[in-house]
């Protein structure tokens, strides 16, 4: 067979057609060469033209009837590695959230990932990076943004059989102190690597837009004690010492085992205030005073201090289940506590009746008393009765100011009628 040179071969690529260079005709084989250039990509076919230039040894010209002049790219009897042109490196097609260790399993690429029902506070978060062709890598990491600025790296490993994989599983370990309520994100062009190539050693071009994963909230910040207050409404047997501990964020209690230790000046021993309630950031503890707490208080017009000396926040956590801190040493209640006045046990009374309080008396009302008249004449006495919230004593300097018409008067306040009036 001979070829006058008029027959030509053209490579049909996915994105272009490229003419091949005629080399020779020998023993029935016509050889063409084509040198791959940048931009060529994908499987290719072959298109022949000028076939009438073919002449066999008997003078027959052209191709026999039934033979196509075009060999399509999808011909099945040619091995794929002989029919593919590739000068483009692998490209990222998508990045997906694939689950957390909190789910108990690591999902594969065909398993739908479930959305975490609470912020992630520890363990691992998994991402999958998909490419448009298999890649080989040894040291690829995925950059992940936590919060507004913290950038961490997830180690990426090939998932399918080595050495090539069309996707990488990237594992991000959650660090203590991380907080992201808007969801983790990946910045633009998030992959770092030394080696990331396809099977023809074309370097990857993993350009990819930034992406946020709002379903992956992270909260690895434990709640801490912001402040504590302590109050004693009235220091008598069965009266409550109320401790309110405020945390840095909303908290919850799995049970009622948490306690607060309080120290009462002059008391026989430290006391334990037990868990009472939790609401938002505030956990309340209560302790009911007993006679022993008050028995040593015998001096008039002196005071005792009660403080929060320790906190055992057992099973108190934030909403992401981070355990609460127990440190109350910097809170006002620990440093200064609260003071309540005390007075002697009245004659014939038991220590259980010791009366003391830290609440300032409140003026409840002022009204007319005694011989109440609609009109007061000459020599009539006008009596004012002042009602307080509790029993009071009256010093000699206490006076009441009042007006008759436009003239202002003052009168001394006399001994109480019944303690509070």
What is the secondary structure of 342-378 as a DSSP string? Answer: E-PPPTT--GGG-----PPP-EEEEEEESS--SS--T
| CA dist list (Å): 76 to 79, 81, 351, 360, 421 | 7, 12, 103, 97, 109
Lowest mean pLDDT among 19-28, 35-44, 111-120, 352-361: 352-361
Quick one: pLDDT at residue 77?
A: 46
Query: Residue 10's domain spans which residues?
Result: 2-86
Higher pLDDT, 236 or 308: 308
Let me know if residue 419 belongs to a domain. no
Q: Would strands 338-342 and 363-369 be described as parallel, antiparallel, or unpaired? A: unpaired
Lowest mean pLDDT among 25-39, 62-76, 108-122: 62-76
Answer yes or no: is pLDDT of 13 > 60.
Answer: yes
Let me know if residue 260 belongs to a domain. yes
pLDDT digits (tens, 9 = 90+) for 231-289: 887 767 778 888 999 999 999 998 888 988 888 776 667 889 999 889 999 999 998 88
How far is Cα 311 from Cα 273, in angstroms, rounded to an integer? 9
Quick one: 208 and 237 in the same domain? no
How far is Cα 374 from Cα 382, in angstroms, rounded to an integer? 11
Quick one: pLDDT at residue 355?
A: 40
Quick one: 133 and 181 in the same domain? yes
CATH of residue 57's domain is 2.60.40
Q: Tell me the average pLDDT of the chain.
A: 77
Answer yes or no: is pLDDT of 332 > 80.
Answer: no
Quick one: pLDDT at residue 300?
A: 47
Which residue, 53, 86, 119, sits at the end of a domain? Answer: 86
Quick one: pLDDT at residue 123?
A: 84
How far is Cα 311 from Cα 418, in angstroms, rounded to an integer? 43
Quote the tokens at residue 280: 């938002």
* Mean local confidence (pLDDT), 290-300: 63
Quick one: pLDDT at residue 295?
A: 62
Quick one: pLDDT at residue 12?
A: 81
Let me know if residue 202 belongs to a domain. yes
- Give kind and range of the element (H or E) at residue 128: strand 124-137
How far is Cα 125 from Cα 122, in angstroms, rounded to an integer? 9
- Residue whose structure tokens are 């007061």: 376
Range from 38-42, 188-192, 298-302, 370-374 that averages highest in pLDDT: 188-192
Tell me: cis bond preceding 220? Omega within 30 of 0 counts: no
Domain count for the chain, please give it.
4
Quick one: 269 and 292 in the same domain? yes
Which residue, 219, 241, 261, sits at the end of a domain? Answer: 219
pLDDT digits (tens, 9 = 90+) for 353-409: 334 444 567 777 787 877 777 788 888 888 888 877 655 677 667 888 888 888 888
Let me know if residue 420 belongs to a domain. no
Higher pLDDT, 108 or 362: 362
* Mean local confidence (pLDDT), 63-71: 62
Tell the burial category of 294 from Cβ atoms under 10 Å away from its Cβ (0-12, 13-18, 19+). buried
Let me know if residue 191 belongs to a domain. yes
Contacts (Cβ under 8 Å, ≥6 apart) of 42: 13, 14, 15, 73, 84, 85, 86
Quick one: 290 and 339 in the same domain? yes
Q: Would strands 29-33 and 41-43 be described as parallel, antiparallel, or unpaired? A: unpaired
User: Considering the chain, what percentage of its residues have pLDDT values greater than 90?
Assistant: 13
Lowest mean pLDDT among 68-82, 176-190, 266-280, 294-308: 68-82
Using 50, 70 and 90 to split pLDDT, how confident is the model at 79? very low
Let me know: does 350 contact 237? Beta carbons within 8 Å: no
Which residue, 188, 219, 250, sits at the end of a domain? Answer: 219
Contacts (Cβ under 8 Å, ≥6 apart) of 142: 95, 127, 129, 153, 154, 156, 168, 170, 172, 186, 190, 191, 192
- Can you give the pTM of this predicted structure? 0.60
Range from 1-15, 153-167, 320-334 that averages highest in pLDDT: 320-334
Quick one: 7 and 67 in the same domain? yes
Using 50, 70 and 90 to split pLDDT, how confident is the model at 222? very high
| CA dist list (Å): 346 to 302, 351, 359, 409 | 16, 9, 20, 38
Using 50, 70 and 90 to split pLDDT, how confident is the model at 223? very high
How far is Cα 159 from Cα 236, in angstroms, rounded to an integer? 71
Higher pLDDT, 187 or 397: 187
């Amino acid at each position: 067979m001979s070829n006058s040179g008029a027959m030509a071969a053209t490579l049909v690529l996915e994105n272009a057609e490229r003419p091949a260079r005629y080399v020779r005709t020998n023993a029935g084989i016509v050889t063409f060469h084509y040198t791959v250039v940048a931009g060529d990509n994908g499987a290719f076919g072959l298109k022949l033209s000028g076939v009438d230039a073919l002449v066999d040894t008997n003078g027959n010209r052209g191709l026999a009837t039934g033979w196509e002049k075009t060999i399509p790219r999808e011909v099945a009897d040619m091995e794929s590695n002989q029919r593919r042109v590739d000068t483009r490196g692998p490209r990222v097609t998508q990045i997906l959230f694939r689950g957390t260790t909190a789910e108990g399993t690591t999902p594969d690429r065909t398993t739908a990932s479930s959305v975490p029902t609470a912020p992630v506070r520890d363990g691992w978060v998994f991402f999958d990076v998909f490419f448009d062709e298999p890649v080989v890598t040894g040291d690829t990491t995925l950059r992940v943004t936590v919060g507004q600025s913290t950038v961490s790296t997830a180690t990426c490993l090939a998932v399918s059989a080595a050495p090539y994989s069309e996707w990488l599983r990237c594992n991000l370990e959650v660090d203590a102190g991380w907080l992201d309520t808007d969801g983790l994100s990946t910045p633009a062009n998030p992959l770092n690597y030394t080696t990331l190539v396809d099977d023809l050693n074309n370097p990857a071009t993993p350009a990819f837009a930034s992406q946020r994963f709002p379903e992956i909230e992270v909260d690895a910040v434990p709640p801490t004690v912001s402040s504590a207050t302590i109050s004693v409404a009235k220091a008598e047997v069965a009266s409550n010492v109320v401790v309110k501990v405020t945390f840095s964020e909303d908290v919850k209690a799995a049970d009622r085992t948490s306690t607060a230790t309080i120290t009462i000046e002059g008391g026989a021993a430290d006391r334990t205030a037990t868990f009472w309630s939790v609401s938002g950031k505030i956990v309340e503890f209560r302790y009911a005073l007993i006679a022993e707490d008050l028995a040593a208080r015998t001096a008039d017009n002196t005071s005792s201090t009660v403080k929060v000396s320790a906190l055992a926040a057992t099973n108190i956590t934030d909403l992401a289940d981070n355990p609460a801190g127990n440190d109350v040493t910097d809170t006002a209640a620990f440093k200064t506590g609260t003071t309540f006045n005390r007075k002697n046990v009245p004659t014939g009374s038991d220590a259980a009746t010791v009366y003391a309080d830290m609440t300032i008396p409140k003026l409840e009302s002022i009204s007319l008393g005694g011989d109440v008249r609609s009109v007061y004449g000459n020599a009539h006495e006008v009596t004012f009765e002042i009602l307080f919230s509790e029993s009071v004593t009256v010093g000699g300097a206490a006076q009441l100011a009042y007006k008759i018409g436009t003239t202002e008067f003052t009168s001394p306040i006399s001994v109480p009628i019944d303690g509070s009036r």
